[in-house]
Amino acid sequence: MLLPAMVMIQVIMELVKPFTGDVISWTKLWMLFGAGIVSAVIVYLCHKNDYRKTYVVSYMESEKTRITLAEHIRKLPMSVFNSKDLSELTTNMMGDVSTSEHVLSHVYPQLISNGISITLICIMLAFYDWRIALAIYITVPMAIAIVVIGRKIQQRLGTKHAEAKLVASEQVQEYVEGLKVIKSCNMDGDKFSALENALRTMRNLAIKMELGVGVLVTGAQVVLQAGIGLTVFMGVTLLTQGKIELIPMLMSLLIVTRIYGPVQTVLVLLPELLYHQIAIKRMRALMDYAPMEGKDTALDGYDIGFEGVHFRYNEGGEQTITDITTSIPANGITALVGPSGSGKSTLSRLIARFWDVTDGKITIGGTEVKTLDPEHLMGYMSFVFQDVVLFNDTIYNNIRIGNMDATREQILAAAKAARCDEFAEKLPDGYDTMLGENGSTLSGGERQRLSIARALLKDAPIVMLDEATASLDPESESHIQQAIGALIAGKTVIVIAHRLRTIATADKIIVLDHGQIAEEGTHESLLNKQGLYHRLYTIQQESLGWSV
């Protein structure tokens, strides 16, 4: 934009020559006309290039940043997710990256281009008359200094606002997820004070931040506009002293009324730049978490060993697993049982390296789990959890997640073995039926069968069953048990169960209590010991006869 402006100034100066007694040079005017056309073409090409290198590159960089964050999050230990809420990670990947995208595409280009244009005009004016240039620009550094000096205020308000947005996001998520409970307890609407308070706090902090930033920017603009008066005063003084002519002085006044537009843009964008630093700091904090690493070592066997294993979820926290030394034989069924909170699920997740042990070691086929790459380790394991996660996709694609390279025949065979065909064929589109969010259109038993079909399709040598039939009705449980029978054939199976009658035929039962092994053996041998297992089994048998 600077080049056409300079051409226009030259045209105006040529057109006003008759008022000073000079003659207009039409040759020069035609040359300036040609220069104007050339400058317009140059500006167009520059804008086109700027769009590609600014907006397109910014959006591509945002995509790259989100993928990088997602890949990093995927490799983090589960302990990170214990300390961070899901909404915080979503804000990192979406909100913070969007802030960065906006700054890269809208703030930095304007700051740089306006900074360059202001500097060039200042230099050119200085060559023409340094006194006029000084009068125009003397207030610019003063105005910028006001915004920069208020940086701490902006950062403090910006940090509080970002934290309030995060809390509000968490409360919205909690409200939506718990809507059934909230309605059943008559806490919907204004009675759900946690969400209302979070949104009100976010609103108040947003107002405070805008007010604080607005006062600084407005104050800086007032100081900046004082340059117009200084320029008029300097121009009139030089004119009365005969040190400048009328036309150049008028042109200087024209320039000063236009030059402050880019400067004001810089002043408005500076707070956004400072707010961007908060988003950058949050993303860097996430990237600073060390990912779990290891080697892609092939396993020689699938027997699992524990040697003096200790584990706590948080450093300095209570010990969850204490001095466990035992083994899980290959090609057999091992059950982990015990009271709630005894460490059953924790122990199974340590095998899968969702966390790393605090002390001791866990081995699979003689290879320490801690030395294996988590994704490589997952290739040897299949999971069937009590809470099944399904995606808003077709039944077919939800099963295919178990093995993305499987053929359609293999996928349908796994579905049939898991008894999925019994309900899938009744749906309008069969296996191509969309499930809705998290499989909301299916029952608990149907969701569980899909989970088993995934595991069957994966065909991993180690299978973990975590309360797979705990919340099912008798008919669904019967179907699931038949499907599990097909899944575990010839595999190393680890079963977590509260219903002790379902694991009576297990090859080995490990009884846990307060994170320690209380006893271990077969069903018959544990009953004969008259210990914790016998007590739990007896209580369950007695409860079978209970009725309302």
CB 62 within 8 A of CB 97: yes
What pLDDT, in 10s, does the model give residues 66-103? 888 888 888 877 767 766 666 677 777 777 777 777 77
Question: Per residue in 393-431, pLDDT tens?
Answer: 888 888 888 888 888 888 888 888 888 888 888 888 888
* pLDDT tens per residue, range 500-538: 777 888 889 999 988 899 899 988 998 888 888 888 888
Beta bridge partners of 462: 381, 492
| Range 295-300 average pLDDT | 86
Which carries the bigger pLDDT value, residue 28 or residue 182? 28
- The two three-digit tokens of residue 487, written as one number: 């899944």
In this prediction, residue 363 has a pLDDT band, given cuts at 50, 70 and 90, of: very high
* pLDDT band (50, 70, 90) for residue 472: low
The pLDDT, as a whole number, for residue 106 is 74
CB atoms under 10 Å from CB of 265, counted, come to 15
Confidence bin at 23 (pLDDT 50/70/90)? confident
pLDDT the model gives residue 307:
92
Let me know: does 464 contact 381? Beta carbons within 8 Å: yes
Token couple for 51: 């769009």
* pLDDT band, residue 228 (cuts 50/70/90): confident
- Confidence class for position 189, pLDDT limits 50, 70, 90: low
Amino acid identity of residue 337, one-letter, is V
- Please give the helix or strand (H or E) that residue 46 lies within, else none: helix 26-51
State the average pLDDT over residues 108-115.
75
pLDDT band of residue 261 (cuts 50, 70, 90) is confident
Report which of 199, 198, 195, 197 is spatially closest to residue 179, judged by C-alpha positions: 195
Decide if 466 contacts 347 (C-beta within 8 A): no
Q: Residue 374: what pLDDT? A: 85
What band does 325 get if pLDDT is binned at 50, 70 and 90?
very high
CA distances (Å), origin 338, targets 165, 413, 447: 42, 36, 26
